[in-house]
Chain A
Amino acid sequence: MNESDQIEKTPLFDEHVAAGGRMVEFAGFELPVQYTSLVEEHQAVRNRAGLFDVSHMGEIVIRGPAAFEFVQLVSCNDHSKMTVGRAQYTGLMYPEGTFVDDILVHKMADDEYLLVVNAANRRKDFAYLSDLAQDHDGVEIVDLSNDYAQIALQGPLAAEVLQPLTPQDLSAIKYYRFVTAEVAGAPALVARTGYTGEDGFEVYVAPSAAPGIWRAILDEGRPKGVQPAGLGARDTLRFEAGMSLYGNDIDETTTPLEAGLGWIVKLGKGDFIGRDVLERQKEEGVERLLVGFEMVDRGIARHGYPVMLDADAGEPIGEVTSGTQSPTLGKALGMAYLPIEATGVGTEFFVEIRNRSARARVVELPFYSRKKSEKAI
């Protein structure tokens, strides 16, 4: 058995087991899919706050005098306007303009960037970047994943719960910014980022400090209804917020433009890997597009279910990339790639659910946004 076949435990494994977490294998790690109830944990994040162990995520550093040029080369977004302390979402690109991974880039210094990458892609990303770096002087790629645990506190009460545990004024950290600060007495990187569609923080700490911070946040938050939340809720929360999941909604065959992520493609920044394809797609338009949909007929569309334009016309035109019953909206919702001519809001198509054609209708993404819901209140 080689290293990549072993199931790893995060530094918070014992906390999960003690809290009754139902442990499953995910991207090579043993993590809780839920503690008490997926729906309850989901609602806790929407209404109060939830605490997630996301230590499985990978952390890769790009540093050296050529770090900036290298980041610009491998990413489709433009990082030239980033100042130290900013984070940016982007795609790591293949020459085909498709995703190696979707990542968060943190500018640590003028010559140092911290990439937070999907756990399942960590080794692939590191190998890809290391190979490219061999042809580039002045850049070093380091996999620091084992040096970081990551805890995400997400929900409207996140700032209120975290504030007593740090001398840092959290209101000074705007969305997609980060600082280094002490949390519960331990040095940490505190970023105002997340994967739930709510306000919140992602806290990066040394593995040895993680259990103390985890318990301190829960002690502070429990009286306010904060609870630990598992992978199940993480998935339904990101799904409602219209955020892509690598391996489901985006992968090595899809481009950011097809995925509706045109806002991370900055052709004006100069050359980068995959640029040719993306430039052509932008000029000519994409042939397919990732859309959100709701079920019209009864049934829940799930990842991998075939999608058809007609109820009984043979060949599927694609698959559902993500789909579930939305806990917040109380509807069966999904995402799928459809031919561009069928992607208008209101267009009807069909999902095959256990040999039955069930009618679905294109709706706008995201399904849920906290701004929309605030307006509604």
Chain B
Amino acid sequence: MSGKTGIPLVRIAKRDAVPFWKVCVFRVAAILLSLTVAGFLIMAITSLTGRPLNPIDVYKSMFDGAFGTTKRIWITVRDMLLLLCIGVGLAPAFKMRFWNIGAEGQILVGGVVTAACMFYLDALPTWTLLLIMMLCSLIAGALWGLLPAFFKAKFGTNETLFTLMMNYVAIQITSFFVDFWDKKQSHSVGIINSFTNAGWFPRVFGQQYFLNVVIVLAVTVFMYFYLKKSKHGYEIAVVGESENTARYAGINVKKVIMRTMLLSGAVCGLAGFIEVSGISHTISTMTAGGRGFTAIIVAWLAHFNSFAMILISSLITFLDRGAGQIASDYNLNGFASQMITGTILFFILGSEFFVNFRLIFRGKSAERSEKQ
């Protein structure tokens, strides 16, 4: 035993409850640190090309990409809202510890029925058509979410695999309809109703994305109160914590699972409606574009708090837009910008560890490090 040096170099100890301001300090520190590291990364990469870049310039161009012009600001806001909407949709499911990784599919089916309405009901008045499209997308997404929930509740199937596979079914359905509606053999449906603009979100107060803002904010506020204050929200929290406790409390667990996924799927379907009718005016298998997965990070990082999700989805969208700008400004390919995004996300997720644990280095007694 004498050969060992005694106390280990670093030990990990669980932290007690951390005050909110301290958590904020950790998060801000993580972002600053990540920007520094990413800066060095950029310098290292670009010095390979012989023209090392100043990281500050790179960040300027990121900022420029996200907020440089009024149009860019609106695009950033638009993308942020879409991500937020999906994150808000996922929140009840994940709060219930139902691993809904099927948002992609729920968005797609919502988008497909929206596109179908645009094709077949284009003669209807604008607002009537919008209302019908909205309802249809809600129902389609809800059914897509209900199916795995039903099997989970009745037969105890694994929802992770089930929702994931439902994504592929949705992709196949989408490609079938794309082919079905594709009249020019161009493997895409093109911009739907590009002359009549039927079923497009109308400009309100001159703003193209006004409706996006209204719908998503309404859903966000609704979800905040639904999860935090309502009886349903309470049931979701109990079921998520322990099914046994829920049964003990007399909660009908199966009903809650199905009802919650109905809601979760419906909101994701609504995101598909916003994407197709309010943003791209087209439908393809790329309509969801991986946002259904990114939104999982949004929901978890925000601890299912809708308002915190606004911040998180803003940050992620900013990174995404900024990274795209760097790529085009400096002739870097997409991978370089993804590395930056990845670095920053790594640090943000890593800060969660330091919120929950602290490190004790050799030579410091527990009491001394406690005071710091």
Chains A and B form a bound pair: no
